DNA sequence: CATGAATGAGTTTTCATTCAT
DNA sequence: AATGAATGAAAACTCATTCAT
């Protein structure tokens, strides 16, 4: 009845944050099979507390993925009207890869296919990427046949590539981002084969 | 009691092949969580038979991954003395990606970390890639700061990228291979940042 | 620290009543597995409040069962000296069944086996039933070998029977009460087999 | 492939029977909340074995309920053309109650509502009951306004009633069956109120 | 006093693996 | 050799109960 605002959110907020952090770490280490029990232990809370905050494992994953989309959307927005459109796109890709470098969680996206909240955040980010690419294309900074969706699918590539060597240094992804960025440039570009993918 | 050398190797060989095919299909569809029972059912054999051929799930995965390494090694060897070293490297990457396009099983590699047989096959393939890259580099077909390991880690990138759109056409990976290949070229290449990764 | 005798008993009383009503509804709908959380939600109070009023789920159930026993005891007492003893017994059974028709909670009794308060209320009701039956027997309105305990165990039968059809009308129990009442009559009664049950 | 007939069903058959027996005992003692783990322990098999035989708890319950329906259907069929139709109906009710006397599992029926196999077996039994009642009615052995469905809903009443005393003797149910049977007789019957329930 | 977050034992179910037939 | 039944260690999730605010 007297729900009032929400007073003692102190520990609850702390727990939620601890859970998200623990979950990211566990998923990064163990993959999709990371168990809710291990996540709870890592966050130093009881099993039941995980489910109080995230009713299902999917909901927890959705919170993680959605959070990352939101953070990247803010990055993209901040770059959306930078004077050098080509540099803005590169900066965006650098920030995106840098964020993944610690924990590559891109594989979590497959689980969130059916989640409309995540889908909305994903579409929002995609639109920003499309905008960054359009500006870079108009400025002649990237090849003319490149679409926002092309860039979208390549966002995770630099970090993902580093997963194939034993001990990737913390900055190894920068090499592969550089290669891909060079591949996006108009200079000496061979025409891209096939039609661009449609979104969604 | 070894009355004969191999009594009915026909059945056993057929079963082994059927199991590998079924396992690839199941892993491609269901990811690492594909169950041994489903694989057995798909191969139309009993669960026990799977374990007669592959003592553990890891061993089955190792067989799959090792097989793919072997197949790619043959491809690389066949291209190892082609007259156009640059084209040979591109052809190799195309064959590698084309093979994954149907069934992307690269995620299985993480499970085989500890398997020395797979490691040997992996190293063998890596050496061939190194060879292809060295020739292409010597021929001026790729940027001078590119190593075989750089190419190694990028092999899976084109197909992996296609996983981020809803309905990737069967040839979508060619777009991203084209971008990466353009990024490998010396024309207009910015120097690659950081040291190249060491192998292993 | 007992500054006053009862500060805001109004709220507490209202909550207790709301909780009992909510609990009856939940138990009727979901059976014994109705959760304390759902009961709290239905009563529009917090989970902790349920436990302030009823220290355990068993205590809550005991309160429900005891309340029903008390209500029926009053009904029986009001009929205890009616001029027509046979009609009084039928009226009692009708009132008892009518009360259950909306919410059949007889299954809750099994949980209260160990509760002495409930046992006392139960025995009180049983004594009244015994009285009603004795008077009816003395008046020749029911078979001579019928005991109060026999009637006691049959109280829930009419409503329970209706649970075996899909959509029992709200008055279907009257058919089965009529059959049982006819079975209690002396006319054409075959002697009851075995000894009557004892009441502990 | 070579599924052949089914050879070593020895232990499997034993286990299935042991599981059904254990499940009946557990459900009778603990109600619907009897746990699959306890059932396994009582049957002296591992937890997993329960699920090999009955994929879900509901399936196990359906097997129990369906089995009881089948057994009763055979009883009813055997009595379907007995010369004394009234005695046949009484005999059927006696057999039905006698079967429940040890383990009252009628509450399991509610769980099987959605199971079409059980529904078919239920309808089959209901048809037999309808037949027995029709014959008894035609023979003037039971009241003219009695339907098969009326009898159907009363089948469990005698045993259910015994649940309300502390230590019901093994034959106490016979007293309440006798009362109900007397209530079914035409002698001195008051007309049944309301319409008979429809099936299903 | 009421609230609702936290707890942790318990539930159903899955699955890699073993083993009797 | 093949089969499929049995095993038992998790996993996701629920819920009565406790307790800090």
pLDDT of residue A3: 41
F19 C1' closest Cα residue: C48
Domain containing D124 — which CATH number? 1.10.357.10
CB contact under 8 A, A193 and B175: yes
CB contact under 8 A, C190 and D169: no
Task: Please give the interface size between C and D, counted as residue pairs whose CB atoms are below 8 Å apart.
Answer: 146
With cut-offs at 50, 70 and 90, classify the pLDDT of residue A8. Answer: low
User: Which residue of chain C comes nearest to D195, CA vs CA?
Assistant: C172
pLDDT of residue B14: 85
Question: How many percent of chain B have pLDDT more than 90?
Answer: 89
- The verdict on A38 and A68 lying in the same domain is no
Interface contact A28, partner B, CB < 8 A: no
pLDDT of residue A44: 96
pLDDT, tens digit, 9 for 90 and up, residues B38-54:
999 999 999 999 999 99
CB contact under 8 A, C197 and D150: no
Structural domain includes residue C110: yes
Interface contact D57, partner C, CB < 8 A: no
Burial zone of D119 (CB within 10 Å; 0-12 exposed, 13-18 middle, 19+ buried): middle
Give the residue with greater pLDDT, D126 vs D3: D126
**Which residue among D55, D71, D96 closes a domain?**
D55
Contact residues, chain C, for D195 at CB < 8 Å: 169
- The verdict on A105 and A158 lying in the same domain is yes
- CA of D46, C1' of F8: distance in angstroms: 7
Upper half-sphere CA count for residue A129 (Cβ side, 13 Å): 23
With cut-offs at 50, 70 and 90, classify the pLDDT of residue D2. Answer: very low
Interface contact B116, partner A, CB < 8 A: no
- The verdict on A127 and A75 lying in the same domain is yes
Q: With 60 as the cut, is the pLDDT of residue C5 above it?
A: no
| Torsion sign across C-alpha atoms A64, A66, A70, A73 | positive
| Torsion sign across C-alpha atoms B176, B182, B184, B189 | negative
pLDDT of residue B4: 45
- Mean pLDDT value across residues B124-144: 98
CB contact under 8 A, D164 and C152: yes
Closest partner CB to D189 (pick from C150, C182, C190): C182
In whole angstroms, give the CA distance from residue C41 to residue C20: 13
- The verdict on B107 and B179 lying in the same domain is yes
C5/chain D closest Cα distance in angstroms: 41
Q: Which of C 122-151 lie inside 8 A of D, CB atoms?
A: 146, 149-150
Closest partner CB to D160 (pick from C157, C190, C194): C157
Closest partner CB to D182 (pick from C109, C149, C190): C190
User: Which residue of chain A comes nearest to B143, CA vs CA?
Assistant: A179
Structural domain includes residue C151: yes
Domain containing C22 — which CATH number? 1.10.10
Q: Which tokens in the block code for residue C168?
A: 């029992």
- The verdict on D86 and D176 lying in the same domain is yes
With cut-offs at 50, 70 and 90, classify the pLDDT of residue B2. Answer: very low
A71-84: burial string, b at 16+ Cβ within 10 Å, e else = ebbebbeebeeeee
Strand E contacts (CB < 7 A) among D residues 118-137?
Answer: none
In whole angstroms, give the CA distance from residue B111 to residue D197: 63
Interface contact C197, partner D, CB < 8 A: yes
Nucleotide nearest to A46 (CA to C1'): E7
Residues whose CB is less than 8 angstroms from the CB of residue C106 and which lie 6 or more positions away in sequence, other chains included:
C100, C156, C159, C160
pLDDT, tens digit, 9 for 90 and up, residues C77-118:
999 999 999 999 999 999 999 999 988 999 999 999 989 999
CB contact under 8 A, A179 and B32: no
Do D and A touch, 3+ Cβ pairs within 8 Å? The answer is no
Do B157 and A161 touch, CB atoms closer than 8 A? yes
Please tell me the least confidently modeled range out of A122-131, A150-159, A182-191.
A182-191
Helix axes B116-138, B85-102, angle to 10 degrees: 140
With cut-offs at 50, 70 and 90, classify the pLDDT of residue D1. Answer: very low
Contact residues, chain C, for D176 at CB < 8 Å: 150, 153-154, 157
* SS3 at position B23: helix
pLDDT, tens digit, 9 for 90 and up, residues A29-65:
999 999 999 999 999 999 999 999 999 999 999 999 9
Question: How many percent of chain B have pLDDT more than 70?
Answer: 96
- The verdict on B126 and B74 lying in the same domain is yes
- The verdict on D45 and D69 lying in the same domain is no
A50 C-beta less than 7 Å away from strand E? no
In whole angstroms, give the CA distance from residue B68 to residue B70: 5
pLDDT of residue D3: 41
Q: What's chain B's average pLDDT? A: 94
Structural domain includes residue C128: yes
In whole angstroms, give the CA distance from residue D109 to residue A19: 43
Contact residues, chain A, for B184 at CB < 8 Å: 179, 183
- The verdict on B79 and B36 lying in the same domain is no
Contact residues, chain B, for A172 at CB < 8 Å: 194, 197
pLDDT of residue A188: 85
pLDDT of residue C9: 65
Report the Cα–Cα distance between both ends of chain B, in Å, rounded: 44
Mutate to test the interface with B, among A153, A156, A173, A189 (most CBs of B within 10 A): A153
E20 C1' closest Cα residue: D8
Report the Cα–Cα distance between both ends of chain A, in Å, rounded: 43
DSSP C50-69: HHHH-SSHHHHHHHHHHHHH
- Mean pLDDT value across residues A178-199: 96
Q: How far is CA B173 from CA A106, A178, B160, C124, in A?
A: 18, 20, 8, 82
Q: What's chain A's average pLDDT? A: 94
In total, chain D counts a number of residues equal to 200
Structural domain includes residue B1: yes
- The verdict on A33 and A85 lying in the same domain is no
Q: Partners for C (CB, 8 Å, 3+ pairs)?
A: D
Contacts of range A3-7, beta carbons closer than 8 Å, 24 or more positions apart: none
Q: Supply angle C-alpha D189, D192, D195, rounded to 5.
A: 160
Beta strands in B113-157 (DSSP E): none
C4/chain D closest Cα distance in angstroms: 44
Structural domain includes residue D200: no
Closest partner CB to D180 (pick from C172, C180, C194): C180
Q: Which tokens in the block code for residue C16?
A: 């207790």
With cut-offs at 50, 70 and 90, classify the pLDDT of residue B9. Answer: low
Q: Which tokens in the block code for residue A1?
A: 């009845």
In what helix (H) or strand (E) does residue B196 lie, and over which residues does it extend? none
Do B118 and B112 touch, CB atoms closer than 8 A? yes
pLDDT of residue B8: 56
Domain extent at residue B15: 1-55
pLDDT of residue B44: 95
- CA of B37, C1' of E1: distance in angstroms: 57
Interface contact B110, partner A, CB < 8 A: yes
pLDDT of residue B11: 77
Contact residues, chain A, for B173 at CB < 8 Å: none
pLDDT, tens digit, 9 for 90 and up, residues C138-185:
999 999 999 999 999 999 999 999 999 999 999 999 999 999 999 999
Structural domain includes residue A71: yes
Contact residues, chain B, for A183 at CB < 8 Å: 178-184
Q: How far is CA B143 from CA A56, B133, B134, B179, in A?
A: 48, 10, 11, 14
Question: How many percent of chain D have pLDDT more than 90?
Answer: 91
Interface contact A185, partner B, CB < 8 A: yes
- The verdict on A81 and A165 lying in the same domain is yes
The residue among B74, B60, B71, B68 whose CA lies nearest residue B20 is: B60
Structural domain includes residue B200: no
**Which residue among A55, A70, A101 closes a domain?**
A55
The residue among B134, B132, B179 whose CA lies nearest residue B157 is: B179
Interface contact C98, partner D, CB < 8 A: no
Question: How many percent of chain A have pLDDT more than 70?
Answer: 96
pLDDT of residue A1: 40
- The verdict on A51 and A93 lying in the same domain is no
* SS3 at position C168: coil
Interface contact C186, partner D, CB < 8 A: no
Closest partner CB to A176 (pick from B154, B172, B195): B154
Closest partner CB to D182 (pick from C169, C171, C188): C188
Chain F footprint positions (protein CB, under 7 Å): 1-21
- Mean pLDDT value across residues D122-146: 98
CB contact under 8 A, C194 and D157: no
B98/chain A closest Cα distance in angstroms: 14
- The verdict on B106 and B32 lying in the same domain is no
Number of domains composing chain C = 2
pLDDT of residue C49: 95
In whole angstroms, give the CA distance from residue B31 to residue D94: 58
Torsion of CA D85, D89, D94, D100, to 10 degrees: 150
**Which residue among A40, A55, A70 closes a domain?**
A55
Q: With 70 as the cut, is the pLDDT of residue D193 above it?
A: yes
Upper half-sphere CA count for residue B47 (Cβ side, 13 Å): 4
A21/chain B closest Cα distance in angstroms: 23
pLDDT of residue A50: 97
pLDDT, tens digit, 9 for 90 and up, residues A10-20:
788 999 999 99
Q: With 60 as the cut, is the pLDDT of residue B146 above it?
A: yes
Structural domain includes residue A196: no
CB contact under 8 A, D161 and C165: no
Interface contact B35, partner A, CB < 8 A: no
Contact residues, chain D, for C166 at CB < 8 Å: 200
DSSP B56-95: SHHHHHHHHHHHHHHHHHHHHHHHTT-S-HHHHHHHHHHH
Mutate to test the interface with C, among D105, D197, D199 (most CBs of C within 10 A): D197
Q: Partners for B (CB, 8 Å, 3+ pairs)?
A: A
């Amino acid at each position: 009845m007297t729900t009032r605002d929400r007073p003692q959110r102190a520990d609850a907020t702390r727990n939620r944050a601890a859970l998200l952090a623990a979950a990211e770490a566990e998923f990064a280490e163990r993959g999709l099979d990371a168990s809710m029990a291990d996540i709870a232990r890592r966050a130093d809370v009881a099993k039941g507390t995980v489910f109080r905050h995230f009713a299902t494992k999917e909901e927890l994953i959705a919170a993680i993925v959605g959070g990352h989309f939101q953070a990247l959307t803010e990055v993209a927005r901040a770059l959306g009207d930078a004077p050098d459109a080509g540099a803005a796109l590169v900066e965006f890709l650098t920030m995106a890869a840098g964020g993944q470098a610690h924990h590559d969680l891109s594989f979590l996206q497959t689980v969130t296919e059916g989640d409309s909240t995540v889908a909305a955040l994903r579409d929002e980010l995609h639109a920003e990427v499309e905008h960054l690419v359009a500006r870079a294309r108009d400025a002649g900074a990237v090849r003319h046949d490149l679409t926002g969706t092309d860039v979208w699918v390549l966002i995770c590539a630099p970090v993902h590539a580093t997963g194939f060597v034993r001990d990737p240094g913390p900055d190894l992804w920068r090499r592969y981002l550089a290669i891909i960025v060079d591949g996006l440039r108009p200079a000496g570009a061979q025409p891209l084969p096939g039609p661009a993918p449609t979104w969604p």
